[in-house]
Amino acid sequence: MRPVNPATGEQIDAYEQADEDDVEAALARASDAFESWRQRPMREREQLLLNAADVLRDRKAEYAELMTREMGKPISQATAEIEKCIWGCEHYAQHASAYLADDHYPSPAGSTVKTAYDPLGVVLAVMPWNFPFWQVFRFAAPYLTAGNVGVLKHASNVPGCALAIADVFREAGYPEGVFQSVLAPSSLVDDIIADERVEAATLTGSGPAGRAVASTAGEHLKKTVLELGGSDPFVVLEDADVEHAAERGAWARNQNGGQSCIAAKRFVVHDAVYDEFVDQLVEEVEALTVGDPMDESTDVGPQARQRFLEELHEQVTASVEAGATVLTGGEPLDRDGAYYPPTVLADVPANCPADSEELFGPVATVYRVDDEAEALEVANDTRFGLGASVWTADRERGERLAGQIDAGCVYVNQLVKSDPRVPFGGVGDSGYGRELSAIGIQEFVNRKTVWIE
């Protein structure tokens, strides 16, 4: 593995790829570790998670810089990502005991009936490059604390992050084998899932990758949680605070270089405020600073790989050829690195790539609608169903519309985000299952009914 700094095109380092023997050894260690790890008192597992938070805090700058070098995330956003991982660890260290406490039920006199939450065993995590620390910690913090053990197969362009995360758990005092990063190729994922020592799998990534994992896991009757792509609508109604919505919308589309499943991608705007909103959105987008991701003042860095930029530009070009109008951006920047400018497309024809596909980069599409009913129709006109947001001065109206949008999470007057306190996940082609909160930690447990007479 030879990761390349997307801001410069220079190779960062070289890592040896894991082979079948390495995977076998990792699974053996994981299986052995589970037998003792599952018996560790919950309070001890929670304390180790607090230790992990301390390691992250102590090495925050180092890990943020590693992220920025490997996938181009602006350093201020990389620092914020580490801080979010700390929050996630501290959240589960505080609440895991309550989330997994036995549930008791009415029962005949003299008997006790309850549900106990037992860990499943070895869980495989196939994780993406766009949030290389947070995606892993929102898997590892709850599932390890529940008593499972984890094997991470991270994206091939962030091997340094993968190994650094393993170091976090090792330095925190976790026993050998409880968390491992295996730099295995994607070609070995099916074999890992099929292995009898692996009990479950979670994936955050593309639709094709999710289908492949679900197919193999289904064949072997193993539990999965999938968080896949998104094409989130950002609905602006006629009574919205246009200036605020445009400012938030520009950030919701372009944070992390637009490389986020829950980024605002389709701006669905009421005709009464369309022109004002679009003008304001373009102004906000053009004010974003594109540049060196190591610079604290940078808002938008490079795309994570040159080929990702090329694929994005092919989608934009095809959409323009079909009739879309470029309001700003639309061409790769003439500079070293995989830089694509924040872009806004209007007059987007039905079924062109910008309309029907996920644009995984800093490209916003805007749609004009005549009324609330049409706004809902356009918002739901997608095979995805991850997140959505509604912008209106009437909170009750926003809540009512939220109930009619087909998505795993809908935010009113707020950009879509993941939060350790609330469940996160999608419907449709955006996957199934939930991460985070009590529901997330309970995804990979055996909900065991215990009847004591």
| Residues recognised as catalytic | 227, 261
User: 275 CB contacts (<8 Å, ≥6 apart)?
Assistant: none
C-alpha to C-alpha distances, 379 to 228, 350, 366, 401, 430, nearest whole angstrom = 18, 13, 11, 11, 15
- Token pair 């916003």 is found at 364
**C-alpha angle with apex 68: 12 to 312, nearest 5 degrees?**
95
Question: What token pair was written down for 432?
Answer: 């199934």
Placement of tokens 């979010």 in the chain: 84
d(CA 312, CA 326): 14
In angstroms, how far is CA 120 from the centroid of its own chain?
23
Do the beta carbons of residue 97 and residue 43 sit within 8 Å?
yes
With beta carbons less than 8 A apart as the criterion, state whether 416 and 409 touch: yes
Q: Pairing state of beta strands 343-346 and 325-328?
A: antiparallel
**8 A C-beta contact, residue 330 and residue 343:** yes
Alpha helices, H only, 287-432: 306-322, 353-356, 372-379, 395-402
Parallel/antiparallel/unpaired status of strands 149-153 and 179-181 = parallel
Q: Enter the DSSP assignment of 300.
A: B
Structure tokens at 167: 């170091």
DSSP conformation letters of 195-220: STTEEEEEEES-HHHHHHHHHHHHHT
Instruction: Report the alpha-carbon distance of residue 108 to residue 369 in Å, rounded.
Output: 59
User: CB count, 10 Å around CB of 195?
Assistant: 18
Q: What is the DSSP string of 56-70?
A: HHHTHHHHHHHHHHH
Q: Which residue, 229, 228, 235, 230, is CA-closest to 379? A: 235
Distance CA 396, CA 391 (A): 12
